[in-house]
Structure 1
Amino acid sequence: MASTFKSPKAKDRIIDWFDRFRGRLSAPTETCRLDTPFGETHVLVGGPEDAPALVLLHGQMATSAHVLVEMAPLLERFRVYAVDIVGQSPMGHDELLSVKNNDYGAWLRDVLDGLRLDKPHVVGVSFGGFVALRLAALAPERIERLALIVPAGVVKSHWSGWFKIGIPMAMYLLAPTQKRLEAFLAHMMTTRDEEWEAYMGEVFQAVNLGRVKIPRLAKVGEFDELRAPTIVLAADKDLSFPGEQVISRVEKLIPSLEATELMADCRHCPPTTDEFRGWLTERISGFFTA
């Protein structure tokens, strides 16, 4: 198996970060592990047991604990299943699936079966948005309502991202320093956050970046069977997936699209503030309970 991580030691360091972020959650969570045809999958579960089910999918090189910290208010109104995406998290099977077909959609469908979730709400952030779209293409009947936040797999990255993100990243990996890390993250993160900065600096050194592949773009017609009301939130200063382009394209891709929002003064990694977390989760909660 070709691991996502450079070594077992590198993987262990990222597991430590999972524990550190999970420790920030004030609401209790429990661990669930599932066997799927695509490998073992780890899930963090929390929120009222009788509340509507919500599946939460994190971004690239993150974990269930990371996304739960940023969207913790969802635990007040939903039974949240934060799933560690195989190939992206150290908490389960860490071999990347193909991003050129619907393997990730098939994997997520198997996860829903394992969790005995017939038709939950689904929230996908960045790479998690790509995974949610693959489920929407393969098994649209399994989604109650869908929220995509700065989703991958909709538009190509802007060419200027290479100069503003790619080159500083290469410089940081060549000779890691705090100054180079800050320069690398300046065009990715909306707000300065010391804990996120330290994590990003470590995870980019821990991962085999050569094995990270660009997800294929969604095609017109793939989601014609999707009936789930959908909301898409994009970022106006996102160099990875430019927000205006994302919104323009999802309007053509998703017939069940009901709402879009271009988040102002926001980069690919949205603000890590309590104010923004409250706004974002309220926006999603309101849409799911409308």
Structure 2
Amino acid sequence: MRISEFTDGTAEARFRTAYEHALSRLWPGPRTALDVPTRFGTTRVQRTGPAHGRPVVLLPGSGGNALMWHAYVERLAEHHPVIAVDTVGEPGASVQTAPIGDGDDAADWLEELLAALDVPAAHVVGCSYGGWIALRHQIRHPGRTTGLTLVDPAGLADVGRRFYAWIILGGLAALAPRALRPRLARAVGNSAVLETELMTLMRASTGFRRRLPPATTLDDVELGRLSTPALFLLGERSALHDARAVSERLHRLVPTARVEVVPGAGHALPTDDPAAVLAGILSMQTAQGS
């Protein structure tokens, strides 16, 4: 198995420059960057907020990094430590050195990361692919995660052609002139293309070859093993899955979970309705008594 990496030094240098520029433009307030070794590679995290308390750990979606949460960090860090992660194998400041072959490997990577950061109890927030990793981690390593907020997570239903079409159309919209993007964002149902700095970073990542396992669908037995409080936020118009069908499945298999279908939102839920996502994260943090 191969690892995610840049095609050459030029592609890597171009991305690193764009990454640092976006970080300086988007990140609010102070932060501490840490490089954490795991057996899958070195993971870059950004820490901010109070020194003590149960941290909120933020996992990005596929193709993203810690910067996808830039609009959330300041509010979350008012009362809670925040750890925003560049997932190993995604385009960011982390460096992969060993393959991640399946969901168990992805779960083990997150477990090693949290252990190395000395986080015995975490509220893990995962978007899309990051949500799948969070689910796989809680199932494989129960106990370290005390709460989950899953933002239109992958792995709850088989992915169809509609999602891949959404990805392609969103990518094309991101390449369009800035004046056209609002109209195109509405047409394709992807508000993330309006994030100018992140779209610039995405274009700079074209020389990155992502080689991570697909987010395979969790079966009924696996979902039934979820043992920590969980909030599932689903975009009503998500291209990833049928939100109503997924909601019904979760209510049947995980009756202790909270499931909210966010009206009018799609798979780009963090930018479609940031107020709903922020409220969900904070409500879960409050429910954990931290």
List gaps (5 residues or longer) in structure 1: none
Tell me the C-alpha RMSD between the 2 structures. Answer: 3.0
More displaced 10-residue stretch of structure 1: 159-168 or 5-14:
159-168
Deviations 1:14-70 (Å, cap 9, x if unpaired)?
Answer: 333332332222221101111111111111101111232121111111111222334
Kept in 2: contact 1:18–1:63 (CA 8 A): no
SS in structure 2 at match of 1:89: coil
Over 3 Å counting, the alpha-carbon distance change for 1:168 and 1:128 in structure 2 is closer
More displaced 10-residue stretch of structure 1: 238-247 or 132-141:
238-247
Over 3 Å counting, the alpha-carbon distance change for 1:21 and 1:100 in structure 2 is same
Which residue of structure 2 lines up, in the alignment, with residue 178 of structure 1?
A: 176
Q: 1:32-51 maps to which residues of 2 (within 5 A)?
A: 32-51=34-53
Over 3 Å counting, the alpha-carbon distance change for 1:142 and 1:21 in structure 2 is same
Over 3 Å counting, the alpha-carbon distance change for 1:288 and 1:164 in structure 2 is closer
Q: 1:1-290 maps to which residues of 2 (within 5 A)?
A: 2-23=3-24, 24-94=26-96, 97-98=99-100, 100-166=102-168, 172=172, 178=176, 186-187=187-188, 189-190=190-191, 192-203=194-205, 205-208=206-209, 211=211, 213-257=213-257, 259-270=258-269, 272=271, 276-290=273-287
Over 3 Å counting, the alpha-carbon distance change for 1:4 and 1:187 in structure 2 is farther
Kept in 2: contact 1:97–1:104 (CA 8 A): no
1:225: how far off?
4.3
- Give the aligned length: 281
CA–CA separation in structure 1 for the residues paired with 2:68 and 2:33: 15
Over 3 Å counting, the alpha-carbon distance change for 1:109 and 1:253 in structure 2 is farther
Deviations 1:58-104 (Å, cap 9, x if unpaired)?
Answer: 11111112223344421112101112111013311236844533111
More displaced 10-residue stretch of structure 1: 71-80 or 106-115:
71-80
Runs (4+) of structure 1 exceeding 6 A deviation are none
CA–CA separation in structure 1 for the residues paired with 2:33 and 2:110: 17
Over 3 Å counting, the alpha-carbon distance change for 1:212 and 1:228 in structure 2 is closer
CA–CA separation in structure 2 for the residues paired with 1:199 and 1:188: 20
Deviations 1:254-285 (Å, cap 9, x if unpaired)?
Answer: 3541x111112212213638xx4344212211
SS in structure 2 at match of 1:136: helix
User: Sequence identity of aligned pairs in percent?
Assistant: 24
Deviations 1:107-154 (Å, cap 9, x if unpaired)?
Answer: 111111101111111111111101101101101211111110011111
| TM-score in terms of structure 2 length | 0.83
